[in-house]
Chains A and B, each alone.
Chain A
């Protein structure tokens, strides 16, 4: 869905490096989310934001940080990447009711 875009789509990095994943949306939604998906598993919530400057930890926030400087943008950072952070990362948005979430295409991250 082009309403939610993620960059980069694929990234290879080395252990210890700091990297940033970007998410942009044109849906006009206030709420944005970052999820991680490991092979054969469901989605785990890393962080979420209900408005600009609002940041909340999800299930697995350790080793990650986020920034919400504008309504349309929500970035995820890995402060010091480690191999077990190799996964698919999805950004999602929802309206103020927070029920249905709309997902971006994902970023495939490989940490060597």
Chain B
């Protein structure tokens, strides 16, 4: 069936290191992808997005890479800080019977060790 999944449920990194969070998707019709950050007790917060006509998009300390050949998405966080500790979700977005549908993965918990 259709799914958006994550390779690792928990990722632990040292402060200052780079973090890479991965996501696999199975629907080749998806044309827009979003990464969300969810801190404890809060709602998901938009981080960065990428369209299917791009391979890479950079923001402030974050980079999203899209490999459509293997249906893989990754979020790279440079110089990881304690404030980056959260659960990160990828989401895929596509046209579905004339309307846009957003499907979320189960999330990866990022733990930043001081």
> Which A residues between 85 and 106 are near B, CB-CB below 8 angstroms?
90, 92, 97-106
Smallest CB separation, A43 vs chain B (Å): 4
Task: Please report whether the interface of chain B is mostly helix, strand, loop or mixed according to DSSP.
Answer: strand
- Contact residues on B (Cβ < 8 Å of other chain), bracket: 20 to 34
Cβ contacts under 8 Å, A100 to chain B: 34, 46, 49
Question: Interface-forming stretch among B53-61, B73-81, B103-111?
Answer: B103-111
Cβ contacts under 8 Å, B100 to chain A: 97-99
Interface Cβ pair total, 8 Å cutoff: 51
Pairwise interchain contact A42-B43, C-beta atoms closer than 8 A: no
Cβ contacts under 8 Å, A56 to chain B: 99
Task: Please report whether the interface of chain A is mostly helix, strand, loop or mixed according to DSSP.
Answer: loop
* Interface residue? A50 (CB, 8 A): yes
Cβ contacts under 8 Å, B44 to chain A: 43, 90, 103
Pairwise interchain contact A43-B49, C-beta atoms closer than 8 A: no
Known contacts A100-B46, A100-B49, A105-B43, A42 near B34 by CB under 8 Å: no
Q: Name the residue on B nearest A90 (C-beta).
A: B43
Q: Name the residue on A nearest B90 (C-beta).
A: A42
Assembled-state Cα–Cα distance A24/B32 (Å)? 26
* Interface residue? B42 (CB, 8 A): yes
Assembled-state Cα–Cα distance A112/B106 (Å)? 26
Known contacts A42-B107, A50-B99, A99 near B93 by CB under 8 Å: yes
> Which B residues between 66 and 99 are near A, CB-CB below 8 angstroms?
89, 93, 99
> Which A residues between 62 and 112 are near B, CB-CB below 8 angstroms?
90, 92, 97-106
Cβ contacts under 8 Å, B46 to chain A: 100-102
Q: Name the residue on B nearest A97 (C-beta).
A: B100
Cβ contacts under 8 Å, B45 to chain A: 1, 103
Cβ contacts under 8 Å, B11 to chain A: none
Binding site for B on A (CB under 8 A): 1, 4, 40-45, 50, 56, 90, 92, 97-106
Binding site for A on B (CB under 8 A): 4, 9, 32, 34, 36, 41-46, 49, 89, 93, 99-100, 102, 104-107
